Structure formats: structure tokens, C-alpha cells
Amino acid sequence: MDESDSPLLPAPRWYDDNAPLRKELKDAAKAARKTSASAPSESPDILPDWELTVGIEIHAQLNAARKLFSSADTYPTVEPNSHISAFDIALPGSLPVFQPAVVLPALRAATALQCTIITKSTFDRKHYFYHDQPAGYQITQYYNPFAVGGCVVLTAEDGLEEGREVVVKIKQVQLEQDTARSQEEDGATTLIDFNRCGQALIEIISLPDLHSPREAAAYVRKIQSILHAIDAVTTGMEQGGLRADVNVSVRRRDASHEGFTYAGVTGLGQRTEIKNLSAFKGIEDAIKAERDRQIRILEAGGVVEGETRGWSMTRPNETRRLRGKEGEIDYRYMPDADIPPLYIGLDLIKFVRQTLPPLPTELAKMLVEEYGLSATDARTLVLLDDGDRLIYFQKVVAELSSLATYSVPQPDLGKMAANWVLHELGSLLSTDERQWSDKAVPFDKIAEIIHRVREKQITGASAKLILKLVFNGDSRPISQIVRQEELAFSEMSAEEYQAIAKEIVEKFPKHVKDIVEKGKTGKLQFLMGQMMRHPRKGDMRAPEVEQALRQVIFAGKS
């Protein structure tokens, strides 16, 4: 056998060569903490009597300037049907011309997913008739894909319970064409935009290793974060650049192991496929809805039919039948006679491995070690906003370093920057329900705000006020805001702190009594809040405020 006809490395033993996919992160982590104390080794949405099995096919648009088999560009545009070639719309006589540049992002993706790269792969025609597929077939790599094997490991970092680990094995990764975009105008009219038709996709096909709706969504989220980190794709699920089809089956846990088989996995229930899911919550909800539907059928003595089903955000509690499930015979797979095999050189594979950008777990580790962030903040920065928040954070730290009048350790600057970028700015975005934008507060302005706090030119409370002004569109220089709003910090003496503390204590004698006699420390926080509302709040620091209040309240009590 020629070297080009064999895989670079032996395929994993479980691979069957003959067998033909900050709010969410926060919610997942909260759910994990809620259930970890009672059942640390089990997922909370695993049912006691029924076993759910899920396999996922992820379709991701590659970061490539040209389509898979035509020279039409892939630049985003609002003008329909403005980026198409004769081959994209299947004009007679037009032939596919493979665009080599799509190989690089595809190889980066497969390498990051720990796949075995096959040095010789081929293309097949998958026949079906639909208006978004003008040729009547889709070009894909069904029989001989360019990558096989690989896996993704889900842990507590992905929202699972502490100590729980789920390994999702990948059957294959294949190149294929995207379809056109459809838009239904009314019951009789559908508009077609062929700009997307023919764009290069990779399809990532998992084995049926998932048994929880929440973990299925976590798997897709992790795939997306990996693909973004290595620059293999341009947009994520919410922007339409990544879609998922999920295969769902259930069976009784006490049933015999007889059943259906897929890629060497036996004893499965009859599976149904839910097409074109484009949101993480949609994946979780659709799987739950289909699982519950199948259980109701089986409990009533019925039989689950193999079929393709749809799901809509407007009908979140049910899936709906689209058509009977097609199989290999229905699609009439056959080699594409117009496209020669794809050969990938060993030198190219080696180059991709050596130049692969860091993966999300590596980025998070770097943030902890070099910037001093907590593991939670590091993971959040990596996953938020397709990595844009991380880039913004690094710019803020770099700007802070340039503003420092003396050498400051990177971890000290990193911790401060992370707090302001994630929590203070994040809180404003959440309150206003605005999408992330690095233009909301330019990185140099938030860096100057943080710098002024560090240099004791303004207090933390004043800094938050300035940040909110800039966030709401105030374009004045920070120095001008500080001067015109009289926010410059002037150090107060201990006597001045105590004088204001006495005013507050005299206003709230009942709170003082509860603190002294009943030890209600929460009332002390209330008094601190009242003191921080004083006209001289811009000159106050929280530690000195607390100290002054304690001295006034407990004077003569010791």
C-alpha cells in the first residue's frame, strides 16, 4: 500500500472503518453546584428508569475566503445572491474546482479535536431534492473522510458536576458543501439566497456517547469554543455559522441489550433525528422534548418510528415530524466523478500541528499562571463572546502597564483588569441587555479608570460612576469627567471620617442597638452604605468607612 493511501496514524480501535455530530456558562455552573452535593457522580437530568442516548452532527462553516468548489468569495453581505458562481447554482456545464485554502482551517479543526488525519480522502454525492440544493445532490465525504477518530472530554470546567467526566468520541470529520439559505414569505412562496450555497463546511460526527441533554449542549459549546480558539471558523452558533443535528433514542434501563446498532454501539433504541438546531438552549430543550415524547409512546405500548423531526423556539415543549428518516440507500451515495481525491502531505500535517493556536484549556491555564486570574474568571474570559472579551482584556492590561509609573507585577494588573472587564463592565452590559462590543467602553478608557483607582486619584465608587458615564455615551476625556464632576480624591483625616460616622449613627439608633446587643453585622453594612452616600463620598474608602463606624459604635463598649 502506498504511504498516501494510509492514515498518518492508526485509527482508534473503536473506529469502525466500514460504518457510514457568560450567561449560559453561569447557568451551567450554577446547576452543577446545585446538584454536586447530593449526587456528584451523576448528571441531574439522567432519568432513573430510562436511558437516553444522543449522537450529534455539527456543521461548522470554515474560515475560508472562497467556497469549497468555486472561486466565489464568502464575505458577509446583506445583498442576496451577490456572491455566487455558475457552479454554485448548478448551471449546465459548470464543474467543481477544489479550493485548496479550505484545507488549512479544516486541518486545524481536526487536529484540535485529536483526530487522525487521512492523507488520501475522496468526495461523494449525497442525492436529495430540495430547493436549497440546486444540483439535486450535496458534495460530501461520506465513505472516505479526511479525518477520523478524536474525542472531546467534558469536565467541571464545562459545567459538569465536580468529579464527573464525559468522553465523547468522534467518528469522523468530513468536508462538505453548505446549502442555500431559505426564507418562507408565506405558505406558497419561499425566497432563496445562494450566497451561502457551496461554502465550505466541516461536519463533525460524534458517536452516541452522550446521555444527558445538558451535557449534549455542553459538548456543542465546547466544540464551538475550540473551533473559535484555533481560528477554524468565523462565526458561532448564534450567528448561523454553526448548526447541529441531534440523533435521539431512549430505552428502558432494565431492557435486554437487543436493539439497534450504530457504529459498533449496540442495544440502542430507535433513533430519530432533529435537524438544524442553532442555539445551545435549543439543543438541550429539543433533546428533552424528544426524549419525553419517545418515553410517552413506549409507556403507552407504541413503537417509535425512525424519522426526521424539527423543533422551534416558539414551540419549546415538542418536536414535530418533517419526514421519514432517510438512510444510505435513500441518498444514493456515489463517488463524485468530477472531483479527484484529496491528498494531504505529511509535511502540511506537521506544520499545522506545530502552529496550532492554543486551545481554550491552554488559554485558561495561561491566564491563571501569567495574569493571576482565578480559574473561574479565566474560563469565563476564554469562552465569552467568541474570545473577543479575552482580546479586550489583554489590551486593557497592556495599556495599564504603559500607564504605570513604576514596575507592577502582571498578576496584580491582571486581577484588577479582570474584575473591571468581567464584573463591572459585564454588569452594565447585563443590566442594559446589550450585546458585547469593545466600543461600548474603549479599552484605553477603562484602563485609565483602573489606573486612577490604583494611583488613589479617585475612589472605587467614583470609578464605577465614570465607567457608567462612558458606557452611556459620555465622550469626554476621563480627566475632564473627573474635574467637571468633582470626583478627584482628596484624602480625609480620621477625624473627618469619624465626624460623618457620628452623623450616620445618630440617624439610625435602632440599627446601632441591633449591632451592639444582637451582633447583627448586616446592619453595619447598611450603615456603611448610608455613609457612602454622603456628599463627600468621592473622598471615602470603604475600609476607612467601616473602621470609623466601628470606632464610633463601640466606643466605650470594650
Q: DSSP per residue over 66-98, as a string?
A: B-SSS--B----SSTT-S--TTTTT-TT-----
Q: pLDDT tens digit string along 443-467? A: 999 999 999 998 888 888 889 999 9
Q: pLDDT tens digit string along 378-416? A: 988 888 887 789 999 999 999 999 988 777 777 888 999
Rounded to whole angstroms, the Cα distance separating 451 from 456 reads 9
pLDDT reported for residue 319: 92
Question: Confidence band (pLDDT; 50, 70, 90) for 518?
Answer: confident
pTM of the model as a whole: 0.73
182 Cβ partners below 8 Å, 6+ apart?
Answer: 131, 132, 190, 191, 192
Q: pLDDT tens digit string along 40-53? A: 445 668 888 999 99
Max mean pLDDT range (76-85, 261-270, 431-440)? 431-440
Pairing of strands 272-277, 307-312: parallel
Q: Averaged over 335-346, what is the pLDDT?
A: 96
pLDDT at 540 over 90: no
pLDDT reported for residue 239: 59
**Helix ranges, 192-335 (H):** 213-229, 280-299, 328-331
Pick the closest to residue 24 from 453, 384, 299, 308 (CA basis). Answer: 384
Q: What is the mean pLDDT of the chain?
A: 86
Rounded to whole angstroms, the Cα distance separating 46 from 43 reads 6
Pick the closest to residue 528 from 461, 467, 446 (CA basis). Answer: 461
**SS3 of residue 558 by DSSP:** coil
Instruction: Flag the least confident range among 12-16, 100-104, 126-130, 476-480.
Output: 12-16
* Run of H or E residues at 29: helix 23-36
Question: Confidence band (pLDDT; 50, 70, 90) for 541?
Answer: confident
* Run of H or E residues at 47: none
